[in-house]
Structures are given as C-alpha cells and as structure tokens.
Structure 1
Amino acid sequence: MSLQHIGVVGAGQMGSGIAQVFAQAGFQVTLVDTQERFLARGIDSIQKSLARFVQKGMLSEEEKEATLARIKTTIELTPLSQVDLVVEAIVEQMDAKAKLFSQLDQICPASTILASNTSSLPITEIAAVTNRPAKVIGMHFMNPVPVMKLVEIIRGLATSDEVYETIHQLTEKLGKHPVEVQDFPGFVSNRILMPMVNEAIYSVYEGVATPEAVDAVMKLGMNHPMGPLQLADMIGLDTCLYIMETLQDGFGDSKYRPCPLLRKYVKAGWLGRKSGRGFYQYS
C-alpha cells in the first residue's frame, strides 16, 4: 500500500509536530484546522522547530525550506479527498473525534487509511462510526513529536493486518520506533504515566510538598528528565484530565480518579504552558 500524500487534522502542538515529521521525511502534507489563525500558529511552531534543527546542524537551510514547501494549509476538509492517509490530532474528546471520522469517511476515498493520534480513547469505538473499520488505526506520537522516537500503534478490533503493516513501515520511514499496543484505555504510555502525574498532583493537593519539590524528587531521585508537574503543564492539564477520566470510565477503578486540584485548575483555565499558567507560570 503506497502512501504519498498525508492529511493532518489539527494544527496544535501535536498536529503541527506530526505535519513536520511527515514533511521532513519527504511526504506532501495537507494540514487542516478550523481557523486560519490556528494554522498560522501551527506553521510558526514548525518554522521555529526547523530553525532549531538548522542551528544544531541537524538540518540544512535548503532542507528546512523544502520541508516547509511540502506543507499546504486549509480550513476545509474537502482537500483530504486527495490523500492516502489522514492523521487526526484534535481535542481528546470522543464526540469530537467521532464526528470528524464520520466526515472523513464520507470525504476520503475508500483506499484512504484513517489514523487517530488519540492518547487514550478506544480505536474500536472511533472506527465504528465509519464504513471502513479495517482501515482505522491508532498512531499515537509522543510530545514533542519532532524529537521523541516512540509511536504507539494501536489496532482496533477490525484493523486489518495490511493496514497495520503499512503504518508500521511508515513509522520507521519517519525515523520513529513503532510499538504495537492493544486497544485498552490509555494504551501503555498513558496508563502508566497519567496515574503517576495524578499522584504528583495529589501530593501538592494534600500539602505533602510544593510542585518544585515534587519535580525535584522525580528528576534528581528517579533520573526523570522532567518532573511530572512540569510534564503535565507541557501536555496540558485539560488533556491530563480527559485522559484520567477515560481511564476511570474505561476500567471503572477508583485508583484512576482525577485529583480535585486537577479539576479545579482546569475549571480556572490554568491549563499549563498553553494558557500561561498551570503548576508554574509562563511568560
């Protein structure tokens, strides 16, 4: 199955990174979002990321410009009728994803593979809204996408072997390391990571330690490159909350109950880096 033209829906932190790695690998990319300002912000993020690669000598100026030239932007879904693969990277909410996949199923040719970058939601449920469940798969990139090597590949109940092998080989072409994961809430990465993040938030909520102290313990004591609360701010506290709710709903186990402080911060609009404030303040 030959893939040449890639569609990416969602130009946020993850979607722009996904568009960048495909374009760097030589693929034509159509990047879609609902507003031009979101697209402009996504392209700006890609330009800055590529500029850092140039500064580090990992990319030439010519390669940077060629990468940018491979990315086209649009606020319409209809141009995705020309792509071989769509990677969805929108908000981590099932209703929004189901609506989008239903639209993509109508727009894209029957041969097009539909992939979700979901970090926790069931691929089987997403696939069920389409008429091509065999061609729906999870492709969960890690943040920041241009740097992190891992991609979790998640089979839905009906995902075909051919589609899995195609995406596995594609992931390797991107210079990433594919790992097959079964369709359970949170997969592997967030089933392990998010309860740790949630417990770190409980440590602050219960007055055990400050955010700085919690992060210092995990960085200096456990050799983590980033503290769990710094990481939560980078991921987005709203996304952390969505994932914890997915884990709790999916497993029905109280150990996945989101910390009340996490809910409070999200309701206050303290979402981390993207809002300027979370467990830390950002200029």
Structure 2
Amino acid sequence: MMKTVGVIGLGTMGAGIAEVFAKAGLNVVGVEVTDPALEAGRRNLDRSLDRQVDRGRLTAEGRREILDRIQLTTDFADTASADLVVEAIPERMELKRDVFTRLDAVCGPDTILATNTSSLSVSEIAATTRRPNQVLGMHFFNPAPVMKLVEVVAGDQTDPAVVARVEELASLLGKTTVTVGDRRGFIVNRLLLGYLNQAAKLVGSKVATADEIDVALKTTGLPMGPLTLADVIGLDTCVEILDCIHADSGSPRHEAAPILRELVASGRLGRKSGGGFYDRGTDPAADLSDERAGELVLELVGPHVSEGQAMADSGYASSADIDTAMRLGCGYPNGLFGLLNEG
C-alpha cells in the first residue's frame, strides 16, 4: 500500500492531483521550482478547497486535514522516500526529461515515476532514467478532483506489476482507469483532437460556421459543441497536441487546421485570452433545419466514430474502454459509439 506520493508542478492540474491524493489519506510532497511558483501552487490548493467549503462539500476541519497532509517544497530531494512521484508540468519534452533525470537521481530505487502527459511519449520520457521499467503514464483529467478518468499508459519497458500497483492506487482514489500502450494522445486526446480539428477545418473552408456546427452537434447529447470545447481547452493547446499526435500518426486528420494556427497567431487562444472561435461570454446560436443539423452531425461524428472503431480494430483499446474513456474524459453520455444514435 502506498503511503507517500510526490507531485511535481502545482499549477491547476498538479494542485488538483495533490488534492486528490491528500483526500484519499496519502501524504503528499508538492514540488515547485521557485518560491513564487510554490506560493502560486499554495493558492491553487486554497482556492479549490475554499470553494468546496463554501459550497458545503467539505468541512473546515476536513480542509485542514487535507492541507496538513501536503508538504510544499522546492527541493526535489524531499521526494526521496515517496512510493510514487507524478510529474504535472507543461507539455514540453525537454522539461519533462529534465524532471525525470532529477527524480531518478534523488528517489529511492523502488519509487515509481509517473508522467501526467496527455500526448507525449512515455517511453521517451522513461529513457532518461535508469528505471524505465518503473516509469509509466498516469494521465488525470482537469479538474482532477472532479473528473473520474485516469488513463494509465505503459511504456515499452514498464513492468506489468508497476501498472497493476498504479491501477490499484487509482481505484483507491475513486478513479476509473483505462490502461493502454504508449501511443501519442492515448485514447481520449487521439480521438477528441481529431474531431475538434475536423470541425475547425469545416469553419476554415466555410462549409459551416462555428455556430452552426456547435448547435448541430449539441443535438447528439454532447455537453458542448466541438468549437466551444476547443475554446475551453485553448486553441494553442489544441495545436500543440495535434502537432504531437500528427508527428506520430501522419494522418491528415491530425494536421492542425490552418484556421487554428491563424487564430493562435492573432492572439485568439480561446476563453483564456478572451476569445477564440467565440468571444468570451458568447454562446453558439444558429437557426438550423433538422436536415442541415443532421448533415453536420454525420460529417463530423461519422469519421469520429470510424476512428474509434479503427483504434479498437487495431487492438490498442477495446470498444468498451474507448466508450468508458470518452464518457468519463469528455462527457459523452453514452460513449463514442453511441453518438450516431443520439442525433
């Protein structure tokens, strides 16, 4: 049974992961590289927990107990005795490899090292350590305290026993796991970003407006349309992930739409910058006939489902795991394969 975990990086995602571990009763060592970053991480934790107290989901005593389990530090060596360390820093390979080199040097020989990467190669990250058999992906979804999915990613050399220990831990955290091999984007981002990208291409080629697409796709039961979702994720983030996946897949489906690059170059990054496909506070609105809505649904959902079927046919993930991943990771009410039946 794991007792102590480290979390490297205390941005919104890392702080959320630290909170999840502490709520489950584990001791947490939260690490940042500078004192200002550490204070920002502390504020992230405080904001999240204070919000839960204000909403009656957590008592003041419970808040104190959670924070008492979290040690904040700028010293990587404080993770030396951790059973597991999870890295949650920006999606840049050189940064992640540097972190894993440092962790490998200070952590005990039995410590498992995990990356929260959403799209990079786990095996490439693991190669910088002397323990690639003890390195794997543990991909949480944002916000980590709320989202129930964790993609567990085995690298080329990951020991199956290590995978099993992390799956057991995720269950203790109240998460549902899907376990896959090391393919860029894994299940969720590989499928989701291709779908979002195709929606952007339709806008760029003036086949449809963003409003028309999002209004049409909401008829399938999705919580939001693809271009609204792209704005939420961040268009710069979408481009970064697409570039990573495209380098692996070579598929035109993952080649970032020119309109995405144009919007990013103009500073329209989505909600975080005030506007992307939509200005902040603007909701999609379009007067569509049922026929036109159906055409757009088929145009986007058909290839989306086909890509998922190809993933299942390749043996990378089962249809059941794909449905679970898209339901819990993206809010698809009945998974990916139920989308065509919902419109």
Q: What is the TM-score of this pair, normalised by structure 2? A: 0.76
Pairing 1:137–2:136 present: yes
In 1, Cα distance between equivalents of 2:264 and 2:278: 14
User: Which residue of structure 1 lines up, in the alignment, with residue 160 of structure 2?
Assistant: 161
Q: 1:172 to 1:277 in 2, by over 3 A?
A: same
Asked if residue 93 in structure 1 is aligned to residue 86 in structure 2, the reply is: no
- Could you say if the C-alpha distance between residues 65 and 214 of structure 1 is closer, same or farther in structure 2, counting changes exceeding 3 Å? farther
The CA deviation string for residues 71-91 of structure 1, in whole angstroms up to 9 with x for no partner, is 222233222223221111111
Shift of the 36–201 alpha-carbon distance from structure 1 to 2, 3 Å rule, reads farther
Which amino acid letter does the alignment assign opposite residue 98 of structure 2?
A: K
2:27 match: 28
1:32 Cα deviation after fit? 1.8
In structure 1, the residue matched to 2:37 is 38
Task: Name which of structure 1's ranges 66-75 and 155-164 shifts more when overlaid on structure 2.
Answer: 66-75
Percentage of identical aligned residues: 45
Question: Do 2:231 and 2:269's aligned partners in 1 also have CA atoms closer than 8 Å?
Answer: yes
Task: Tell me the SS of whatever aligns to 2:262.
Answer: helix
Query: d(CA) in 2 for partners of 1:118 and 1:153?
Result: 11
Q: Cα deviations across residues 53-99 of structure 1 (Å, max 9, x unaligned)?
A: 33443322211121122222223322222322111111112222112
Question: Mapping of 1:30-69 within 5 angstroms?
Answer: 30-69=29-68
Give the distance between the partners of 2:12 and 2:167, measured in 1 at CA. 23
For 1:1-283, what aligned pairs fall within 5 Å after superposition? Answer: 2-219=1-218, 221-282=219-280
Counterpart secondary structure, 2:146? coil
The structure number with the bigger radius of gyration is: 2
Give the C-alpha shift of residue 208 in structure 1.
3.8
- Unmatched segments (≥5 aa) in structure 1: none
Quick check: 2:214–2:228 contact (8 Å CA) kept in 1?
Answer: yes
**For the Cα contact (< 8 Å) 2:198–2:253, is it kept in 1?**
no
In 1, Cα distance between the equivalents of 2:206 and 2:74?
46
* 1:92 and 1:239 in contact (8 A); partners too: no
Residue 143 of structure 2 aligns to a residue whose secondary structure is coil
SS in 2 for 1:82: coil
Q: Quick check: 1:93–1:242 contact (8 Å CA) kept in 2?
A: no
Aligned partners of 1:222 and 1:191: how far apart in 2?
Answer: 20
Q: Return closer, same or farther for 1:6/1:282 CA change in 2, 3 Å cut-off.
A: farther
Which digits, 9 at most, give the CA deviation of each residue in 1:188-230, with x for residues without a partner? 11111011111222233233444444333323x1211133233
Give, as a single letter, the amino acid of the residue that structure 2 aligns with 1:23. Answer: A
The aligned amino acid for 1:146 is P
- In structure 2, the gaps of 5 or more residues are 282-343
The CA deviation at 1:150 is 0.6
Secondary structure of the residue that 1:242 maps to in structure 2? helix
Deviates more, 1:22-31 or 1:199-208: 199-208
RMSD: 2.0
Residue 43 of structure 2 aligns with an amino acid whose one-letter code is D
Deviates more, 1:98-107 or 1:27-36: 27-36
Distance 1:257 1:95 in 2: 23
Structure 1 pair 247–205 and aligned structure 2 pair: CA distance change class (3 A): same
- The secondary structure found in structure 2 opposite 1:222 is coil
Give how far 1:48 is off.
Answer: 2.5
**Letter of the aligned partner of 1:88 in structure 2?**
E
* Cα drift, residue 276 of structure 1: 4.1
Distance in 1 (CA, whole Å) between partners of 2:36 and 2:206 is 40
Query: With structure 1 as the length reference, what TM-score do the two structures score?
Result: 0.91
Which sits farther off after the overlay, 171-180 or 265-274?
Answer: 265-274
